Chain A
Amino acid sequence: MTIRGIFQLSWPGFALAVDLDLPGTGVTALFGHSGSGKTTCLRVIAGLERVASGYLEVNGEVWQDDARGLFLPTHRRALGYVFQDAALFPHLTVSENLNYGLRRVPAAQRRVSPEAAIDLMGIGALLDRFPDRLSGGEKSRVAMARALLTSPRLLLMDEPLAALDHERKQEILPYLEKLHDELEIPVLYVSHSPDEVARLADHLVVLQDGKVLASGPLGKTLARLDLPIRLGEDTGVIIDAVVAERDAQWHLIRVDFDRSHLWVRDNGLPIGHRVRVRILARDISLALDKGKDTSIVNALQGQVQAIVDEAHPALALVRLHVGNTPLISRLTKRSAALLDLRPGMTLWAQIKAVALIG
């Protein structure tokens, strides 16, 4: 179960040369700044852009192999595509938009029922409306349901949240998470938002100037310090953990991972629930001992793996391992010198803030 894509394309002022080997399940984020080629990559995979030389195989089906003269046009590829602007047909109602793709798929190949898609995206009340009577968030949800109803073997999403304000994004994200959890369709998700990537992705591909800088599981890839891509204030790690204990008196829950634990604010999740925890590099400070008389709730002991310069000359990033779990701390170079930080040292990571996501 893999998605393999090798593409080379050259336009005036832009060249794309990628060799992607992606898992055939879960959500893969194509992440990068604007102009990095992430949307072009998605369009090439969809067959909407023609490249001079390309190879694409999706879970055993070859969609494109220019060496053999094989190119399936977009409408012959079993994919779903959610455009940034939703691209609903303005002359059709929501229900007609949903049916447009559905009735072009042979009944025997349909694996997603209209009821399931409408329910999953919560659009049952909108079916008779025309797209110009929908909010931005509603349009996105209809576009996702419309794509799902073609029973795609691969779902491509081009920044489906980029055109929405913060509140609308919060409205859509739970639906995307449901999509992730309930359907076994591999998703390629283009985004330039570290928040969305942290919340939704299992696998991360970092693109820059039309090339792949890094590709790997989300946690490991985010913890790499060698990537020239700088997330700035968003630099940090994602940890998959499980809710293990509830402290009702102080409204905290304990989440366990890799023989360590963190106490975080109780958000009502049941014991045993899997959660994703995000810790930003700027929220971790380092100390030689555990420290008493401090307000810090979470302190973890770890070993320094590497120290690299941050973009600003005053700052450095330190990667340390707590067990096998990487953490990244951002601190001033002066602090690093005062502590005499070196790879191999054991010290304490004092964590000021932990965000539960998903």
Chain B
Amino acid sequence: MQSADIDAIGLTLELATLTTFSLLILGTPIAWWLARTSSPLKGMIGAVVTLPLILPPTVLGFYLLVLLGPQGPLGILTQKLGIGLLPFTFPGLVVASMVYSLPFVVQPLQQAFAAIGPRPLEAAATLRASPLDAFFTVVLPLARPGFITAAILGFAHTIGEFGVVLMIGGNIPGKTQVLSMAIYNHVEAMEYANAHWLAGGMLAFSFIVLLLLNLYPRGGRA
């Protein structure tokens, strides 16, 4: 295996890990709000969160490029904050991957929170637990299967992204060149053996992820 390929694998794992952790933290309050609210905004926010699920990744990547670019509102903001421009950098990839994988994390969490219902929280309140206390001692443990599903789906989905990365990150070896990009480059260069190594590895990885998801005991303690 070439060193560029190993770089690509390392970069991909780093990207997926960072994205998944950030999304679990960001997605939890969004999913909680969506699961519990009766606000008229629920439908709107829910649709926005789900949008990356059906939008072509190139479309998503294109708009992110425009928004984060030198003339885009977010680009102007990041420049003013002294962060600089995000496109074609690794942090830019993380931001784009978070948008891209958002529904894969939020939806399992939202379903897990909705399935718990209001009763355990009411019981916790009558046992002197503040709302935050009850969230950590009752909701989080009860929603554990949802968190595991969300983490696995978010991670696996980020590992496999291509279109968004291509649009926002380009194809810079060791910097923004991820696994799927490396495969694409090998195929372009007619290096099928190298492509097989990476593609076969992805296939095995995806299969194992789905197998683990199916084997994980659902809806209860182990």
Contact = CB atoms under 8 A, between A and B. Distances in A.
Interface of A: 46-48, 73-76, 79-81, 83, 85, 87-91, 100-101, 104-105, 130, 132, 146-147, 150
B119 A48 contact: no
Given A85-B119, A100-B137, A90 B142 contact: yes
A105 B133 CA distance: 14
Contact of A150 (B127, B137, B220): B127
B220 A101 contact: no
Contact of B125 (A73, A85, A130): A73
A48 B125 contact: yes
B126 A91 contact: no
B130 interface: yes
Contacts, number: 67
Contact of A91 (B125, B130, B142): B142
Contacts of B124: 75, 89, 100
A306 B191 CA distance: 104
B123 A89 contact: yes
B209 interface: no
Most buried by B among A47, A79, A104, A105: A104
Interface of B: 119-120, 122-131, 133-134, 137-138, 141-142, 220-221
Contacts of A74: 122, 125-126
19 contacts: A46-B126, A48-B125, A48-B126, A74-B125, A74-B126, A81-B122, A83-B122, A87-B123, A89-B120, A89-B124, A91-B221, A100-B137, A101-B126, A101-B127, A104-B133, A132-B220, A146-B127, A150-B126, A150-B128
A75 B125 contact: yes
A108 to B, nearest CB: 14
B128 A104 contact: yes
Contacts of B130: 73, 75
A202 B120 CA distance: 31
A189 B39 CA distance: 34
Contacts of A48: 122, 125-126
A100 B127 contact: yes
Q: Is the interface of B mostly helix, strand, loop or mixed?
A: helix
Contacts of A104: 127-129, 133
Nearest to A147: B126
Most buried by A among B120, B127, B138: B127
A79 to B, nearest CB: 7
B128 A130 contact: no
A299 B188 CA distance: 106
A76 B129 CA distance: 9
Contacts of B128: 75-76, 101, 104-105, 150
Nearest to A86: B123
A91 B141 contact: yes
B125 A83 contact: no
A29 B123 CA distance: 21
A47 B119 CA distance: 14
Most buried by B among A46, A100, A132: A100
A74 B123 CA distance: 10
A259 B71 CA distance: 97
Contacts of A81: 122-123, 126
Nearest to B127: A101
A79 B220 contact: no
A90 B138 CA distance: 9
Contact of B126 (A80, A88, A89, A105): A80
A85 B122 CA distance: 12
Given A91-B141, A91-B221, A83 B119 contact: yes
A161 to B, nearest CB: 18
Contacts of B138: 89, 91
B125 A90 contact: no
A100 B138 CA distance: 10
Contacts of B142: 89-91
B5 to A, nearest CB: 44
Contacts of A88: 123
